[in-house]
Amino acid sequence: MRVFLLALAAILSLAPSLQAQSGSGNTPVQDLLQVHRALIEKGSRKSIAPAIDAIATSGLPAAQTVLQTWQSKDMWQREEDGLFFRAEEIAKKTYRLYDFDSGDAVGDYDKDALDQLKPNSGVRAMIGTALVVFQLSDPDPARRRDALDALQRDAEASHLAPLRASLEGETDPEIKARKEQLATLLTLRFGADDTARIAAIESISTDISLDARAALNMLLTTSREIAQGPVPQGVNVAAILTPGEDMPEAEAYAMLADKGLAPPRLSPDDIRNTLAAHIDGGKVGGVPLAALNTDAARATAYAALVEAGLAPAQPTEAAIKEALAAHTIYDAYAEPSAAVTAAAEDALAAIKTRVGLNQMLDLALDGISLASIFFLAAIGLAITFGVMGVINMAHGEFIMMGAYTGYVVQQLIPNYTVSILVALPLAFAVTFAAGVAMERLVIRWLYNRPLETLLATFGISIALQQIAKNIFGTQARPLTSPGWLDGAWVMNDVVSISYIRIAIFVLALTFLALFLFIMKRTRLGLETRAVTQNPRMAASMGINPDRVNMLTFGLGSGIAGIAGVAIGLFAKVTSELGSDYIVQSFMTVVVGGVGNIWGTLAGAAMIGFLQKGIEWMNPSNTLAAQTYMIIFIIIFIQFRPRGIIALKGRAAGD
């Protein structure tokens, strides 16, 4: 190439007339282009490299513009003098030309007076590679990031040098880190020698990012090959497969047959089609058609056809075994260097262990977040069911009412942050009122008849659900979370948790604290506990059990409303929102143990972690996870019928 450049330099010195022709002494890029004019006009991938290199390394301010214009096929050549310009179509068949050096418009020309340069895709890719150098050291950080993104998507060996070169001048620490990572990833793929590549591989063996894993996996791509006899020399073998052990014999033989190394095994369909093609007077191979409804009869008929030389013979088992024995099936690495693939395998194994640990952490976070959702949904139920012994099947509908309250508030107050802050107390107020009304009108008359309470509240539940459907329609309503709750807290490529879930976790903790405070530190809590333990005694101490029951029920319902707002933030608000959670909520309370907030917490944690755990084992199927979880709970109840934390002695009430 150097010789070539020298030759070009010679041409440059011999062509003063060209410079004069360009009309101005201050046109370095145009001059450069004219020097390489022949190569640029030819536009062949094989010979274009010196021209591109010359432009890219010229250090001229307009070089990047030229390359971009050229790449996007906007560079045109004026036929009269052969000068290159950037052109814009200003009218049909009329183009305005701009000078590269000054950026000024040169004039408007008809299309016939111009030639468009149409670099083919190979040339464009080369220009792109050259451009990366400019973009990687572009003053605008956004451009640099774009260039890195582009490199990450589609890297080539030639990118490595400019990337390394740009490392020096990088000022932004974040981009610098990315560049370094990318340089490592490129080194392990395109590095000069095995030592450098293995060093790069080892340096990322603690990196669990998706890019690192993808790069390693790319190194380890294998293809399945067949060789006659042993594996040929010089192939980097990943594994040799024994038919019957590593892969089914039928599959192995089908591979042989596909490559034309053995006669194919005939499927029943093939046999039937062959038979159908040789029907002769109601018979095939001497067997009447009507008798061909068993595999044995078909085999006989087919054998007769083979005998007559009309059909290929089905390979025998012995022939198949022999063919398989004569060939070796192996997985070969695309990467020729065994040392590199071995290092990559080791690195990948180390990364997998790390990823596994991180996945456990991620799973635990998911479990906590699911547990807090169940806890939020169940805490109101824990009050009404656990403390008062009232089964409230409409609890799910209170959750739904809370969510719809949030939705309505958002329609009135456009600011999402304010609307959530308004919606939380308002949802509490709405469902508190609904709960108090329900207690006064229905539940009061049904104390001591838990099954009737269950049914009556179910009646209310279907009525409320249908009313919600009538008001808001059947389609899901959005409850948008404020902007600061968008996004997720990303620890690395494996562990992340969305801010909404963190917020729900915090909300659940808040309610746990609030519940404990109300029950242990306030008058209402004291009275509630008294009425729960012995209503008559409490009444004779001057406590009004009716009032206490009403307030307790209202409190439980109000918390359901707030849970509704929280759930609505990540689930779609529909009239069926509540019924999706009601069974799980009851499960939580029952599994945890009735009448004890810590039991509810334990129940929620158990169900949340269990469901996530089962989902992890069978990731594609949340339905199955729920099924198995419910079955587990049914069995769990066998062993602890009163829940995880069971009340003992007289407090248990039996």
Number of residues that bind other proteins (CB under 8 A): 58
- Could you give the CA distance from residue 191 to residue 158 in angstroms, rounded to a whole number? 10
User: Where in 209-268 is the site for other proteins (CB under 8 A)?
Assistant: 268
316 lies in the binding site for other proteins (CB under 8 A): no
Closest alpha carbon to 31 in 101, 88, 97, 87: 101
Tell me: does residue 533 bind other proteins (CB under 8 A).
no
User: Which residues lie across from 153 on neighbouring strands?
Assistant: none
Cβ proximity of 601 and 611 under 8 Å: no
Site membership for other proteins, residue 91 (CB under 8 A): no
Name the residue nearer to other proteins (CB basis): 184 or 584: 584
What is residue 540's DSSP assignment?
Answer: H
Return the residue of 103, 450, 478, 487 that touches other proteins, per CB under 8 A.
450
| Min CB(454)–other proteins separation in Å | 6
Q: Which is nearer to other proteins, 26 or 638 (CB)?
A: 638
Query: Does residue 478 touch other proteins according to CB under 8 A?
Result: no
Q: Which of 458, 499, 570, 616 binds other proteins (CB under 8 A)?
A: 458
Of 195, 360, 445, 572, the residue at the interface with other proteins (CB under 8 A) is 445
3-state secondary structure of 108: strand
Give yes or no for residue 279 binding other proteins (CB under 8 A).
yes
Work out whether 14 is an interface residue with other proteins (CB under 8 A). no
Element (H, E) at 599: helix 597-617
> Binding other proteins by CB under 8 A: which of 161, 210, 455, 513?
455
Mutual angle of helices 160-168 and 173-190, in 10-degree steps: 150
CB of 294 to other proteins, least distance (A): 6
**Concatenated DSSP letters of 442-454:** TGGGGTT-HHHHH
Closest CA to 566 of 511, 496, 529, 611: 511
Say how many C-beta atoms besides its own lie within 10 A of residue 303's C-beta: 15
Task: Tell which one of 36, 298, 477, 612 touches other proteins (CB under 8 A).
Answer: 298
3-state secondary structure 377-407: HHHHHHHHHHHCCCCCCCHHHHHHHHHHHHH
Query: Which residues from 368-397 bind other proteins, rule CB under 8 A?
Result: 391, 393
The span from the CA of 241 to the CA of 230, in Å, is 12
* Residue 16 in tokens: 């003063």
Residue (10 or 471) nearer to other proteins, CB? 471
Footprint on residues 576-595 left by other proteins (CB under 8 A): 579, 583, 586-587, 590
Give the closest residue to 34 by CA, choosing from 59, 57, 17. Answer: 17
Residue 332, φ and ψ in degrees, nearest 5: -115, 140
Query: x-or-dash pattern for other proteins, window 608-637, by CB under 8 A?
Result: -------------x-xx-xx--xx-xxx-x
Figure out which of the listed residues 29, 460, 503, 507 binds other proteins, where binding follows CB under 8 A. 460
Q: Are strands 327-333 and 287-288 parallel, antiparallel or unpaired?
A: unpaired
Residue 33 binds to other proteins (criterion: CB under 8 A) = no
Using CB under 8 A as the binding rule, whether residue 463 contacts other proteins is answered as: yes
Q: Can you tell me the distance from the alpha carbon of 193 to that of 339, in angstroms, rounded to the nearest whole number?
A: 11
For other proteins, what does the binding mask look like between residues 542 and 581, x meaning CB under 8 A? -------------------------------------x--
Cα–chain center distance at 596 = 40
Q: Decide: is 475 part of the binding site for other proteins (CB under 8 A).
A: no
Tokens of 257: 């047959």
Q: How far apart are CA 595 and CA 383, in angstroms?
A: 8
In this structure, are residues 255 and 329 in contact, taking their beta carbons and an 8 Å threshold? Answer: yes
Please tell me whether residue 470 binds other proteins under the rule CB under 8 A.
yes
Contact between 534 and other proteins per CB under 8 A: no
Q: Helical H runs in 36-117? A: 37-42, 49-56, 63-71
Contact region with other proteins (CB under 8 A), list: 37-45, 134-142, 343-351, 438-446: 438-446
Residue 650 makes contact with other proteins by CB under 8 A: no
Shortest distance (Å) from residue 508 CB to other proteins: 22
Measure the CA–CA gap between 397 and 567, rounded to whole angstroms. 13
Site for other proteins (CB under 8 A): which residue of 316, 411, 540, 638?
Answer: 638
Q: Rule CB under 8 A: which residues touch other proteins? A: 268, 272, 275-276, 279, 284, 289-290, 292-295, 298, 391, 393, 442, 445-446, 448-452, 454-456, 458-467, 469-470, 579, 583, 586-587, 590, 621, 623-624, 626-627, 630-631, 633-635, 637-639, 641, 653
